Amino acid sequence: MSAVLARLQPLGRALMLPIAVLPVAGLLLRLGQPDLLDLTFIAAAGNAIFGHLGLLFGIGVAIGLARENHGAAGLAGAVAYLVATEGAKALLAVPPGLGAGLGSDVRAALTSAWRDGQIARLSVPAGIVSGLIAGQLYNRYADIRMPDYLAFFGGRRFVPIAAGLAGLGVALVFGMGFPLLSAGVDMLSRRAVEAGPAGLFAYGALNRLLIVTGLHHILNNIAWFILGDFGGATGDLKRFFAGDPAAGAFMSGFFPVMMFGLPAACLAMYRAAHASQRRAVGGMLLSLGATSFLTGVTEPIEFSFMFLAPALYALHAILTGLSMALMDALGVRLGFGFSAGLFDYLLSFGLATRPLMLLPVGAAYALVYYAAFSWCIRRFDLKTPGRDPADDVSATIDADSDADMALPVAARFAAALGGPGNLSAIDACTTRLRLRVADQALVDEAALRRLGARGVFRPGGDALQVVIGPTADRLAGEIRQIAAETAPAEMPDAPLDARTVPVPLPAGLRSAIDAHALAAWLRPLTTADITARDTRLVLECAGPVDDLLARPEAMAELHRLGIRGATMAGGSLHLIVGPGAGDLAARLAPMIRG
């Protein structure tokens, strides 16, 4: 099961990149409507994004899956999508009566329009499949070497070529299998409609329960971009903005929860906090509540109690499902381009059905959430923010050294994650860092929470997720840059022992090396002279120090002393200090001997 989750989670993350363009599409489409600015070119610009979502998914998913999110994978995704869709169109069996009795030019135009319309129904699935193929091809072949006479087509240039060839296979599947695929989508749409309130309840509850794995994005994409058909627009979200009065059932129920319920939960946590800590946690909870109310981004709130009180989170999932069914029963149809926040509510107001019903339903949900959270927190003494003395924000801030507080936030996050050398993969989705770490034991959860992380989740193996909030993607980029800048540029010439322990130090954490403190730390380890080799100090050790280097506290002390890295090689201890190693060795030698 964990292996399946590990394979699906990158897809959930990758799907967020193309979805991120939907707010501007919805904004342009609405502003251009006659009831607002009545500017057709703005409406057409917004509709162009909705009309090419398949291509955007092909590009976005490929980039999201590729190592380093490289743009070459996006080009490969576009190539695979275009080859797949255009090839599939040519394979479609045209109804024999289409254009009968009309001129050849008219018949050709009708045939082309029919083929375009049919493939458009499956454009998003085709884009996702194309992106998956292109991303995997990039990860496998981006470094491929070709013979000298074909060297120009090697490396990353090979990936779009391979993606184009793979797109032919997708074209065969979508073209020749179109009747079966189309019937499957139609059946799925009918089943969703026939399921009625029970189906909407299940969707809403599962949407919240799957957040912990990140797989809710896959569920959302089926509902928002595939189910139903209205004039060629497929999916609840696309149909809503295309003017389908029946669309919005898979979006409306989120508004009472995100705009009213979870902000009320934040108020309940604030009121339940100890008086001495209310001021410290008040700003944080206000920020979380406002983010949910305005934008519909809820994960930072949800992770603050998801693991602390699973039963309370289960209640939250049930209430979300009930909200979906309730809003449908009341005939409310609301939509969004990004999420169920105030901004999207106001933007889609003119297209909505009975939008004012959100106010009484939202008020009721605010009361339910506030009462439920207040009772559960006090009844079961849940350690929500501000209720655990160990989490006293003022105390943790005082505990941080002045030097640490002066460091960039990304550098402090990198240190809390075990240092850049502990991070083998650094990615992010909407609100969380998605990481792969070499050693889970080096991750300091308490330090991450002091830095503002709202939750830490370990899906299994080397995977690690840290809930940050809307700034997660920017933070991931900064940590990635630190890791790139501090990758060990040089390692010892001698073969490394099996227990080599590299300890790279982020640029933001480097400090001037205190020779006296370093000499005191090294004196018990060696009685021989210390020498320098390029950017390293080399010591002959009096005994084995592998066990010492394997201890996190020893590595932390080396970090504090300003050492960039440490490793054992050929029985010698190598300390990476950077330029000036020779001068430092000359200063340390008499101190160690003395």
Q: What is the rounded (10 degree) CA torsion for 78, 83, 84, 86?
A: 110
CB 357 within 8 Å of CB 308 = no
Half-sphere exposure of 279 (CA within 13 A, CB side): 3
Pairing of strands 423-428, 432-437: antiparallel
CA-wise closest residue to 513 among 585, 407, 574: 585
Angle at 95 between CA 93 and CA 100, to 5 degrees: 135
CB 93 within 8 Å of CB 66 = no
Residues 6+ apart with CB under 8 A from 347: 26, 27, 30, 336, 337
Task: Give the residue carrying structure tokens 């074209």.
Answer: 171
Task: Give the residue carrying structure tokens 């069996």.
Answer: 93
Residue type, 513: I
CA-wise closest residue to 10 among 170, 135, 141, 127: 135
Residue type, 450: R
Task: Provide DSSP, 229-293.
Answer: EETTEESHHHHHHTT-TTTTTTTTTHHIIIIIIHHHHHHHHHHHS-HHHHHHHHHHHHHHHHHHH
User: What is the distance between the alpha carbons of residues 289 and 284, in angstroms, rounded to a whole number?
Assistant: 9
CA-wise closest residue to 76 among 124, 130, 15, 151: 130
CA distances to 336, 390, 537, 561 from 442, in Å: 41, 20, 25, 18
- Annotated active-site residue 429? The verdict is yes
266, 376, 429, 541: the catalytic one is 429
Active-site annotation, residues: 429
